[in-house]
Structure formats: C-alpha cells, structure tokens
Amino acid sequence: MDRVNFGDKLSVAPVAVGMMNLLEWGLDAKRLSERVKEYLELGLTTYDFADIYGNGGCEVLFGEMLRLEPSLRDKVEIITKGGIVYDKLRRPYFVSESYNLSKDYLISACEASLKRLGVESVELYLIHRPCPLMEPGEMADAMETLQKEGKVNNFGLSNFLPEQIAALKAYTDIPIVTNQIKMSVKCMDFLADGTQEDALRRKMPLMAYSPACGGELYRKNLSREDFEIVKVLREIQEELGAETIDEVLYAWLYRLPVKVIPVTGTGKKERVLRAVKALEYKMSREQWYDILRIARPGHVSAKYHDI
C-alpha cells in the first residue's frame, strides 16, 4: 500500500485503525499485540485514539500492550485527540460536558494521554472539536509548547470548518496536517461547507470517521431511503466486482479529489480489510454520481435560466 504524507514529517497508512471501541473487542494486552502484529504485516501502522474513548481506557490498554511488546512502539503511528471535557461520575459514557481549548487544558489533556499510553510523544495530536469560546492564540501557544517539549510531533484538527482552521492558522506557523471529519455516503456535509476545497487548497489529506456509516446500512429494518441506497450500492458492487457494499462505501470516498484516509471503527479484522481491498477499485464518475443522487437527492442540480 502507498503511504500518505501528512506534511513533510509524517507518513501514515492509507487506512487508519480506529480504536474508539477497543474495550468492546474482548482483547487483553497480549491478544491486542497479536492483532497489531497481524495488521502491521498488512501495512496497517496507524492507530487513532482520543482521550475520551473508553473514558481513557483505550489508551491505557494500548499502553499496556506497548509495555508488553516495547518493540512495537517504533512500528506504529499513534494519533490521539483532546479538548472534550466530560465528567464520568455525573454523565454516562461518552456524553460530553463541554469543550475546553485553553492552553492549560490542552497541555494537561495531552500529557494525560501520553501517561496512559506510556509514551514520551505521539506522532499526531488532534484538537477534537471546535469550541465557541476557543481563543486561537491560546490554542497556538499550547501547540507550540507541546512541540517544543517534544511531546507532539505533528498537529491536526477534528470537526473543524475552514473558517475555524483559518482563525487558528492566523496565530501559528505550525502546520495543520489533517482534519478528521465525519464522511460517508450518509454524511456529505463536507461537499457543501467548503471542507474539501479548503483541504485541496492546503494540500492537506482528510481523515474520515464513520466512513461505512456506522453499520447503519446493515440493519435488518432499513428505512425506505436506506433501502434505496443499498440497492444502488449492490448494483455498483457487482459492477466493480467487490465482495461487500462496505468496499463500495470506501471506494466512493477514495474517488474524491482530496486524499481521504478512512478511520475504521470495527474490531473485526475482515471488516478492516475491506477498507484496504477498496483501494484496488477505481470507481467511475457515473458510479460515483449514481450514489450521490440516491443518497443526497437534490444535490445535483441542472437549472437553466434565461440570460
């Protein structure tokens, strides 16, 4: 597989292994190390975390694996995120209280992630979500401090709009090497909000979470709209010679002009490999638009006006 450059200092696998649900996979540190070794043989070297995943437990388990198999550290790229504040005593799992992108909070959140992971630095740190109260100058100060102290090698963002990226960039020369956003045939906001064009202008790859729609299209009782989407996906699956509609979903993202690195969300190896298999397919313009038209009716317009 061809590697993807994130700026001048980092290259990643074309598919990132998402670790959000790691604690649900039924793996201890030993079995996780075996899984990671299997992925490494396939070129899957990039692992995506956040401090809130499993209330920090996902980072802890990966850290236990690295202590068990220290040689794996130099073979993987670790991505993690911070900026979401939650109170695990007052709220159920994964419900945020607020965002905090202040300098002190971002630094402490990153340092806490490093401690849980048992590493001195991470290859890539993402600011998880924009905050209405964010002060770009403080965010920039945090980034510069973490980079100067050798705790973060590269920085990116997650769920940021172009204007928000521009606001941050006005305060720092540190490169923003990626923006991780929700992208799929059922989440196409990036086609209308300028995100893709901004990434192209910056020559910045995008990372896509929930690229296979979070399994929604595999439900037994599909909505009428989803039933029609699946119908078209299966037609294109046959045309491409793909084994599953998952591969079609990934191929649709790979057809975009911007470079997209999907972040898988499954603990099933065979489903992760579908994202890899889809790299082999070349979806035609017509097939891509067939999916767009059924998944987002009205997005393609052909109106004629008198001059």
| pLDDT tens digits for range 227-260 | 999 999 999 999 999 999 999 999 999 999 999 9
- Nearest Cα neighbor of 162 from 133, 185, 189 is 189
Q: What are the domain boundaries of the chain?
A: 4-182
Band of the pLDDT at 304, cuts 50, 70, 90?
very low
pLDDT in the model for residue 204: 98
Name the token pair of 180. 């991780």
Active-site hit among 39, 47, 53, 281 = 53
Name the token pair of 150. 């050798």
* pLDDT more than 90, % of the chain: 90
Whether 89 has a pLDDT exceeding 60, the answer reads no
User: Residue 120, class by beta-carbon neighbours within 10 Å (0-12 exposed, 13-18 middle, 19+ buried)?
Assistant: exposed
Lowest mean pLDDT among 164-178, 209-223, 235-249, 279-293: 209-223
Mean pLDDT across 27-47: 98
Percentages (nearest 5) of helix, strand, coil residues in the chain: 45, 15, 40
Catalytic residue status for 53: yes
pLDDT tens digits, 66-75: 999 999 999 9
Whether 96 has a pLDDT exceeding 70, the answer reads no
User: What Å distances lie between residue 219 and 5, 12, 230, CA to CA?
Assistant: 36, 32, 11
pLDDT in the model for residue 160: 99
Band of the pLDDT at 305, cuts 50, 70, 90?
very low
pLDDT in the model for residue 306: 45
Selecting from 3.40.50.300, 1.10.1740.10, 3.30.70.520, 3.20.20.100, what CATH number does the domain 4-182 have? 3.20.20.100
Handedness of CA 271, 204, 124, 101 (dihedral sign): negative
Are residues 80 and 113 in contact, defined by beta-carbon separation less than 8 angstroms? Answer: yes
Whether 3 has a pLDDT exceeding 80, the answer reads yes
Whether 145 has a pLDDT exceeding 50, the answer reads yes
What is the spatial distance between Cα 166 and Cα 281, in angstroms, rounded to a whole number? 34
| Average per-residue pLDDT for the chain | 94
pLDDT in the model for residue 1: 85
Unique residue bearing structure tokens 């119908």: 231
Handedness of CA 266, 127, 80, 77 (dihedral sign): positive
pLDDT in the model for residue 90: 53
User: Residue 108, class by beta-carbon neighbours within 10 Å (0-12 exposed, 13-18 middle, 19+ buried)?
Assistant: middle
For 285, how many CA atoms within 13 A lie in the half-sphere containing its CB?
1
What is the spatial distance between Cα 168 and Cα 125, in angstroms, rounded to a whole number? 15
Are residues 145 and 108 in contact, defined by beta-carbon separation less than 8 angstroms? Answer: no
**Run of H or E including 79:** strand 77-82
Band of the pLDDT at 307, cuts 50, 70, 90?
very low
Unique residue bearing structure tokens 């419900």: 95
Are residues 101 and 139 in contact, defined by beta-carbon separation less than 8 angstroms? Answer: yes
pLDDT tens digits, 183-206: 999 999 999 999 999 999 999 999
